[in-house]
Structure 1
Amino acid sequence: MVEAITAVRARHVLVDGAFRPATVRIGGGRVTEVAAYDDGRHDPGALDLPDSARLLPGVVDTHVHVNEPGRTEWEGFATATTAAARGGVTTIIDMPLNSVPPTTTVEHLRLKQHVAAEKARVDVGFWGGAVPGNLADLRPLWEAGVFGFKCFLAPSGVDEFPPLTPPELDAALTEIAGFGGLMIVHAEDARVLDEAPHPPSRAYADFLLSRPDRAETDAIRRLLDGARATGCRVHVLHLSSARALDLLAEARAEGLPVTVETCPHYLCFSAEDLPDAAPQFKCCPPIRDRGNRDALWGALVDGVIDCVVSDHSPSTPEEKGRGDGDLQQAWGGISGLQVGFTAVADEAAARGIGLEQVSRWMAPATADLVGLGHKGRIAVGADADLTVLDTAAPLDVRAADLAHRHPISAYDGRRLAGSVTHTWLRGEEPTAGHLLTREAAA
């Protein structure tokens, strides 16, 4: 890999939402010019990409669980950001859990920033957390530079990050609306989950019954009511159930300030094809059926869903294998940071959806969600965060070859039609990322 570049030429450069031949010039870590392809012939040292290569903006993944400090044995900034760079991801926004302590106070944020500063290979920003009892911490966290606040409406899986009750959610939405912040929500309803059957079982079908669509639709309806009452901007995390799409489309038509994401695993897998006793496919909310998957793709194309993020949520093999195949006991999370972009591009191509669409969902849309206007696009003045997807270089995913801390992947054994061959952060090989704050994004 070239360590640093001042110009790169390609027949297929994604500019303003479309591919065209171009020479991209770089100086001071930014794009200084997007010139004609033939102009690059006069640039000494310009890198020429093969005709099979697509030059794209680096992916901005706004949903990553790095888990450091406190659960570094689950992942950590060194391994997570290495995996990100290898997968074309140049910016991540770290979730406020499952680290210990969680990012629920400014003191805890400073601790996480200190740890990340020494280890991050790509740029890293941080979400804050909204939990019972930290209402007074939300504004200070916002002023300290977090990009918004995550909450759960059902148990998170870790005791140090409990869910908000309905009155606590309303109070947090009111507080966050008061300073123009953003609430991002794991939208599953605790009551619905409690009422669902959840016997010990190795069968994926039984696990799916334990996380019904209604858990998502009820929680999203409650969240939209809160947004309507308070005016708070809200974002629905990792939408799994297509049955919520009508609710969300109606909310958008009404003018509510709501955005929505989904994840590669919901777009690339279907419940009918998943083996039993295979916890690498377990996540919450769950992977649902083929018709549901098709509907999520349709909602992306139609603009009801705004963006695609990894929800990279790894754990140790011991946690993932807890219960010896009992899916009720295994940790629920999918490790997809390194191959998520490539997997979505592969699935999209099979559906006749262009790579320019995939990039839009995974770079400018996510950058815009958190106000990083200088990320996620190839444009003069933007950070020269670039990645190359080569359609002539198929990828056979092997979990053991991934840079994630543990060789566990739902994508293990999957053959993808292209692979990431280059990634640059501000025009250089990713070795030392910057810490991002909301102020820097303005």
Structure 2
Amino acid sequence: MGDGQLRKVLGELAAMDALLVVHTEDAAELAEPRGPGNGALLAARPPRAERRGLERVIAAARLTGGRAHVAPFAAAECAAMLAAARSVGVRVSAQTSPHYLCLPAEAAPDDDPDYRCRPPLRSDANRAALWRALLDDAGDGDTVASVGSGHRPGTGVAAVRWLLPALWTAARRRALGLADLSRWTAERPAALVGLSAKGAIAVGRDADLVAFDPDAEQQVPPGGGPYTGRRLAGRVLATWVSGQETAPGRLANGTAAGPGGGALLPGRS
């Protein structure tokens, strides 16, 4: 999308106070990987691609007053740009994903496609900086506002079953609590997109609930994507969608889930 088209889209969305969710890797800064491995992918998609794309989004949002949300946000060096833009009233925010918070590039076997995603996993130093951006409570405290699953079977990390235990394992090491996870994964995303019935346990809200044992430990079996073989804290015991309990491999309406056994959530009419 060119700059003119980006401004036009954001201008139209601003008139509706609607949100543009944007992947900010600039295609002009990307290259074809020089090999099939994860290292080649990382070299072909450098942080400057995210930085250049974010510069364009911030400029368009500043001119139009539109709301833009970066998803996914992986290059931690761009957090300062987000914070600076927000400090002068630009309506831009971002979300990261559990694999960027939990899995550094140094731990990714070069030939394992389970670790392959776009943007790619970055360094352990970048991972630590992402945590700092997520935990930064200066100002409005939501420059990197939320954590989305980043679940993309076929073209990215596919491990939705293990995302909550993985995120909880990393959060608990930092003396954080379940309230923090709830804020990042439910409260803030719901508020961002205007889903007033979601994001909290309260009278009048949808009864979308999860029973979670934070003290249980489990080793991820084969088929767990990049978390295979890792020992994680926390176990999901049950889930409810709009008050209806789901079962493993079943949807909330009782029908069978798709291939792979994941209990996908049904659409709402």
Q: Is the 8 A contact 2:3 2:60 kept in 1?
A: no
Q: 1:371-403: per-residue Cα shift (whole Å, max 9, x none)?
A: 112212111222222111112322222244xxx
Q: Is the 8 A contact 1:245 1:299 kept in 2?
A: yes
CA distance in 1, matches of 2:234, 2:3: 45
SS at match of 1:380: coil
- Residues 293 and 211 of structure 1: CA distance in aligned 2, closer, same or farther (over 3 Å): same
Q: Is the 8 A contact 1:311 1:336 kept in 2?
A: no
Q: Which amino acid aligns with 1:174?
A: G
Q: Is the 8 A contact 1:313 1:334 kept in 2?
A: yes
Match of 1:179 among 11, 16, 38: 16
CA distance in 2, matches of 1:256, 1:394: 43
Tell me the equivalent position of 2:108: 274
1:190 shift after superposition = 1.0
Q: 1:50-104: per-residue Cα shift (whole Å, max 9, x none)?
A: xxxxxxxxxxxxxxxxxxxxxxxxxxxxxxxxxxxxxxxxxxxxxxxxxxxxxxx
Q: Which amino acid aligns with 1:359?
A: S
Higher helix share: 2
Match of 2:238 among 419, 422, 425: 422
Q: Which amino acid aligns with 2:60?
A: G
Q: Which amino acid aligns with 2:34?
A: P
Is 1:435 equivalent to 2:251 in the alignment? no
Is 1:308 equivalent to 2:158 in the alignment? no
1:10-159 aligned within 5 A: none
Match of 1:220 among 46, 49, 54: 54
1:279 shift after superposition = 1.0
CA distance in 2, matches of 1:381, 1:358: 22
CA distance in 2, matches of 1:399, 1:386: 27
1:436 shift after superposition = 4.1
SS at match of 1:379: coil
Tell me the equivalent position of 1:166: 3
CA distance in 1, matches of 2:2, 2:25: 12
Q: Which amino acid aligns with 1:308?
A: V
CA distance in 2, matches of 1:200, 1:308: 31
Q: 1:186-230: per-residue Cα shift (whole Å, max 9, x none)?
A: 100111114xx731243x333211110100001001000000011
CA distance in 2, matches of 1:364, 1:399: 32
Is 1:364 equivalent to 2:187 in the alignment? yes
1:171 shift after superposition = 1.8
Tell me the equivalent position of 1:75: none
TM-score, normalisation: structure 2: 0.87
Tell me the equivalent position of 2:202: 379
Q: Is the 8 A contact 2:95 2:147 kept in 1?
A: yes
CA distance in 1, matches of 2:164, 2:91: 27
CA distance in 2, matches of 1:384, 1:200: 47
Tell me the equivalent position of 2:227: 411
Runs of at least 5 residues in structure 1 that lack an aligned partner in the other structure: 1-163, 316-331, 401-407, 438-442
Is 1:391 equivalent to 2:214 in the alignment? yes
Q: Which amino acid aligns with 1:200?
A: G
TM-score, normalisation: structure 1: 0.54
Tell me the equivalent position of 2:94: 260
1:342 shift after superposition = 1.8
Tell me the equivalent position of 1:120: none
Q: Which amino acid aligns with 2:227?
A: Y
CA distance in 1, matches of 2:192, 2:76: 22
Identity %: 40
Q: 1:357-382: per-residue Cα shift (whole Å, max 9, x none)?
A: 11110011111122112212111222
Higher relative contact order (CA 8 A, sep 6+): 1
Say which one has the larger Rg.
1
- Residues 182 and 395 of structure 1: CA distance in aligned 2, closer, same or farther (over 3 Å): same
Q: Is the 8 A contact 1:341 1:362 kept in 2?
A: no
Q: Which amino acid aligns with 1:283?
A: C
CA distance in 1, matches of 2:266, 2:124: 40
Q: Which amino acid aligns with 2:3?
A: P
Is 1:342 equivalent to 2:165 in the alignment? yes
1:169 shift after superposition = 1.5
